[in-house]
Chain A
Amino acid sequence: MQKKFIAAAAMAGILFAGSASAQIKIGFHAPQSGPAAADGKSSTIGAEIARDWINEKGGVNGQKIELVIYDDQNKPDQSVPIANKLIGQDKVVAAVSGSYSGPTHAAATVFQNAHIPYISAYGVHPDITKEGNWAFRGVQLGQPQGKGAAKFIADKFGKTAKVAMITMNNDFGQSIADGFKEEAPKLGLTIVKEYTFGLGERQFGPIVASVKADAPDVIYAIGYYFVGGPLVAQVRSGGLKQPIVAAQAFDSMKLMEIAKDAAEGIYIVGGMDRGRTTPADFQPFLAEFKKRAGYDAEAVAANCYSSVMLMADAMKRAGSTDPAKVREALAATKNFPMLTGPLGYFNSVGELYSPLEVTQVKNGQFVGVTVIDDQSILAPPK
């Protein structure tokens, strides 16, 4: 049997032998087939734009960068061999995950053991960075996002506001909800009830009926835009007029396509103000992404773009591609302009601090409302 494995591996090696060796190889994995393929596609395009723009400007330390991209199907048992392959055969010096939490966490342990710096661009499971000091996160954790939402609601709608939570059942939903539930009572908010729904859910009639009976002041919805769209539409057509505050993953132009007028007025904590002109590459990125993908960029794409940019920036600052030096440079990052907002610093476990932008849907566009920049609330957990 051993022979079979070696033969298969050899075959795979021949098929995918790396090209020029004068390039800096950065590993990248994302779900490109199956149900998670939509985000995988966006994340890959985002990363590719970063690669191309870095290379157009002369690369890093005089060398071009190459992304070695694999499909992990959103499965840990795929991402572990991929991580090993990236390290052992492709000899990457760094890696970025454009995938969800499961595969990212499993791969993080492999990169940790091999001492290769690794950035999780949007996987939000709190433990991804806990394996050691080689994994970093290119996105704000769920917990500070939830706390930020509580602060925003308390500031905007009064400290005694009654909130009904509608939470999506997955790691993203749960970790944001946990942060919210921790902070909300401290600020005086009352959570009247928390409703949960699965990723495949599109019918919210019973939840809407029950929320109506609860009569909250504010509805806090945590979910992806494709569940968020039908949700807010049904909340509005169910006759509920309360303001809706939503979590980051509502941030997609598809939200307006799906929910139409019902999306008007929704607040998104952790969204991207599409009209902003900082950082300088923000507007060009939006245009370039639309050109390549045929649809508008959302946070997932922006996070992957920024994570690749950040990795390249760390290499420049390190003046080397030696993984240990790149890791040190990454850890020392200060005020790096991510598309989703400036990255202040990384804490000791590789979680970033970043102010949280709050946007609102106005005339079908995401418009900035305020920025929460409060260390006491948004400091990343250790």
Chain B
Amino acid sequence: MLFVELIVKGLVYGCMYAMMAVGLTLVYGLLRILHIAHAGVFALGAYMVVTVANATGSLAAGFLVALVVSALAGMAIYRLAYQPILGHPPFVPMVVSIGLFIVMQEAFRMIFGAYGIAFDTNPWYVATISPGGITFNYVEIAMVIASVVLLLGFGLFAGLTRAGIAWRATVTDPQMATSFGVDPVRVRYLNFMFGSALAGIAGGLVGLLNNYVEPTMGGLVSYKALAIIVLGGLGSVRGTLIASLILGVVESFGTIYLADVFDRDAIGFLFLIVVLMVRPQGLLGRK
């Protein structure tokens, strides 16, 4: 029973990682940037949800604002931080991204206070259902539903719509896509918009799940998300999804059975290093 429960709980956290990691993968697939500041967008989303929900009493309004603000923030990050330096070697945008993350984290601390903010009312957080003897609170359920719906929606978008096909074409071969009339700049905005909106929503959900929103909340999740996208084979969305779920489960077991010898936060990276030794291109990456 414990085994089943650990697997299920691991999958729930895997969904959380997936929402975070897919945005990173999208940015990486398109621009070859390790977008560490994604963690800042995640926290931004959480702050939007908690401040709006506490002010208006409406969680829906909070998530709506978070969706819009984080999508806009993502596009602004692309325009202001990355676009001017696209031609430079990869470490340049990476360092910019680190700088931006530090700036965002400190800005949250100054604006919203060094102490975190809790939701005034958070009914989902204590309401539970127990299908099959495993207890979930409603936020966990919402997390799973949100990630499945959003990621499935994205899959349909990428597979079926014109803009989606343009996006895929640009990722595969930017030059070819451009010569077929795809505007690569629009694709990039779209990319940042979608990825950041996902991160913002994930941030809001994690804020609800912890009932606590704090300036540094994005850090650890995004470091793990970086490990995930490498595990998945940089740039592969499918690989990222699989790696997210695997990491969730591996961590879940590691927390219980490895705790005496190894810290949980390092499990993901240990796993990553082991996998890379065997498959340098990641789980689903192409050589």
A: residues with CB less than 8 A from B are 33, 35, 37-38, 40-41, 169, 195-198, 200-203, 205-207, 209-210, 212-213, 226, 229-230, 233-234, 236-239, 254, 257-262, 295
Secondary structure type dominating chain B contacts: helix
Question: B212 touching A200 by the CB < 8 A rule?
Answer: no
Residue on A with the closest CB to B206?
A202
Q: Which residues of A contact B109 (CB under 8 A)?
A: 37
Give Cα distance in the complex from A209 to B3, angstroms. Answer: 9
Q: Which residues of A contact B140 (CB under 8 A)?
A: 205
Question: A209 touching B2 by the CB < 8 A rule?
Answer: yes
A226 in complex: contacting residue of B6, B137, B212, CB < 8 Å: B212
B114 in complex: contacting residue of A41, A198, A261, CB < 8 Å: A41
With A38-B115, A196-B264, A262-B126 known, 12 other A-B pairs at CB within 8 A are A37-B109, A41-B114, A196-B263, A203-B13, A213-B1, A226-B212, A233-B211, A237-B126, A239-B128, A258-B118, A259-B211, A260-B125
Question: A195 touching B256 by the CB < 8 A rule?
Answer: yes
Q: Which residues of A contact B217 (CB under 8 A)?
A: 202
B: residues with CB less than 8 A from A are 1-2, 5-6, 9-10, 12-13, 106, 109, 114-116, 118, 122, 125-126, 128, 130, 134-135, 137, 140, 206, 209-212, 214, 216-217, 219-220, 251-253, 255-256, 259, 263-265
Give Cα distance in the complex from A233 to B6, angstroms. Answer: 18
Secondary structure type dominating chain A contacts: helix
Residue on B with the closest CB to A169?
B263
Question: A202 touching B210 by the CB < 8 A rule?
Answer: yes
B216 in complex: contacting residue of A35, A209, A212, A233, CB < 8 Å: A35
Q: Which residues of A contact B216 (CB under 8 A)?
A: 35, 200
Q: Which residues of B contact A258 (CB under 8 A)?
A: 116, 118, 210-212
Give Cα distance in the complex from A209 to B130, angstroms. Answer: 13
Give Cα distance in the complex from A233 to B208, angstroms. Answer: 12
Question: A209 touching B6 by the CB < 8 A rule?
Answer: yes
Assess A229 versus B135: contact at CB under 8 Å? Given A200-B265, A209-B5, A254-B115. Answer: no
Question: B115 touching A295 by the CB < 8 A rule?
Answer: yes
Question: B219 touching A197 by the CB < 8 A rule?
Answer: no
Lowest 8 A-B CB distances belong to which pairs? A205-B9, A38-B114, A200-B220, A257-B118, A209-B5, A202-B210, A206-B252, A206-B255
Assess A197 versus B264: contact at CB under 8 Å? Given A205-B9, A205-B252, A206-B252. Answer: yes
Give Cα distance in the complex from A40 to B115, angstroms. Answer: 11
Instruction: Name the distance in Å between A293's Cβ and chain B's nearest Cβ.
Output: 9
